[in-house]
């Protein structure tokens, strides 16, 4: 079990707790390089199998990190980022330090919330008016937002919002208000997630 499965990167903190982790591990801990730390669990492969269970564990561990010690900011990894050993991991923490620190800065003290607005079957809705109403209501509260795929004709809006922890209640209220004002749309409100959609960092290697 000398390989390391990485959940995310924290700064100035060391996170350690027992939990149900990816690939049957029962403990997560932190491998640090200077002030940056990668929260990992032990694993015996660098190519972990993608299962629903382990994808959910990855997400749950990130939530636990976010709740750790009264609130810890974590730059979340995509599923499957397993390293050969501590050496390779520290090399990436060092080499990509500016990118991790900028991402950390962008998401400090925030969570990601998901919102889907789906028109009721057979409802004759004014899509533009609903989109504009949603933008007016939610964009001022959020730090940033991104659109996701509109994979169905009935899907009027599918966005992720980056919201500061102390604006979450305001956002919850805005969603309730919006829902009360719009009988013809179904509101799917999800999260809080680690800010996956707001850390657009890819680290490549040239041989």
Partner 1 sequence: MAHPQRRPDSSSLAEVLDRVLDKGVVIDVWARISVVGIELLTIEARVVVASVDTFLHYAEEIAKIEQATAEGDLEELEELEVEPRPESSPQSAE
Smallest gap from residue 187 Cβ to partner 1 (A): 7
Q: How would you class 183 by CB atoms within 10 Å of its CB: exposed for 0-12, middle for 13-18, buried for 19 or more?
A: exposed
- Output Rg (C-alpha) for the chain, integer angstroms: 19
Distances (CA, A) of 107 to 19, 83, 126, 164, 184: 25, 24, 34, 8, 34
Q: Which of 1, 35, 123, 132 binds partner 1 (CB under 8 A)?
A: 35
Smallest gap from residue 166 Cβ to partner 1 (A): 15
Q: Which of 18, 64, 99, 122 binds partner 1 (CB under 8 A)?
A: 99
Distances (CA, A) of 148 to 14, 180, 192, 197: 33, 24, 16, 10
Residue 45 near partner 1 by CB under 8 A? no
Residue placing its CB nearer to partner 1 in the complex, 183 or 207: 207
Residue 43 near partner 1 by CB under 8 A? no
Nearest in space to 5 (alpha carbons), one of 66, 61, 74, 53: 61
Residue 14 near partner 1 by CB under 8 A? no
Positions in 137-196 near partner 1 (CB under 8 A): 146, 148, 169, 172-173, 175-177, 179-180, 187-194, 196
Smallest gap from residue 199 Cβ to partner 1 (A): 6
Residue placing its CB nearer to partner 1 in the complex, 65 or 103: 103
Residue 91 near partner 1 by CB under 8 A? yes
Cβ partners under 8 Å of residue 160, min gap 6: 112, 113, 114, 115, 145, 146, 148, 197, 198
* Helix or strand holding residue 164 (H, E): strand 155-164
Residue 69 is encoded by which pair of tokens?
Answer: 């010690």
- Residues of this chain that interact with partner 1 (CB under 8 A) are 8-9, 33-35, 46-47, 50, 52, 55-56, 58-59, 63, 75-79, 81-84, 86-92, 94-99, 102-103, 112-114, 146, 148, 169, 172-173, 175-177, 179-180, 187-194, 196-197, 199-207
């Amino acid at each position: 079990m000398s390989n390391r499965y990485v959940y995310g990167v924290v700064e100035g903190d060391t996170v350690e707790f027992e939990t149900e982790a990816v690939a049957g591990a029962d403990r997560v801990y932190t491998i640090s390089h200077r002030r940056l730390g990668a929260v990992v669990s032990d694993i015996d492969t660098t190519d972990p199998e993608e299962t629903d269970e382990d994808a959910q564990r990855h997400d749950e561990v990130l939530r636990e990190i976010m709740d750790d010690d009264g609130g810890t900011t974590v730059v979340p990894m995509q599923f499957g980022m397993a390293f050969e050993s501590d050496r390779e991991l520290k090399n990436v923490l060092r080499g990509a330090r500016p990118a991790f620190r900028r991402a950390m800065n962008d998401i400090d003290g925030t969570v990601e919330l998901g919102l889907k607005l789906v028109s009721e079957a057979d409802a004759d809705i004014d899509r533009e008016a609903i989109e504009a109403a949603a933008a007016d209501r939610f964009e001022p509260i959020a730090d940033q937002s991104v659109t996701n795929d509109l994979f169905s004709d009935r899907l009027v809006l599918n966005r992720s919002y980056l919201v500061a922890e102390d604006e979450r209640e305001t956002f919850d209220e805005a969603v309730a208000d919006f829902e009360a004002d719009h009988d013809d749309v179904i509101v799917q409100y999800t999260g809080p997630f680690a800010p996956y959609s707001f850390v657009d960092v890819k680290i490549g290697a040239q041989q």
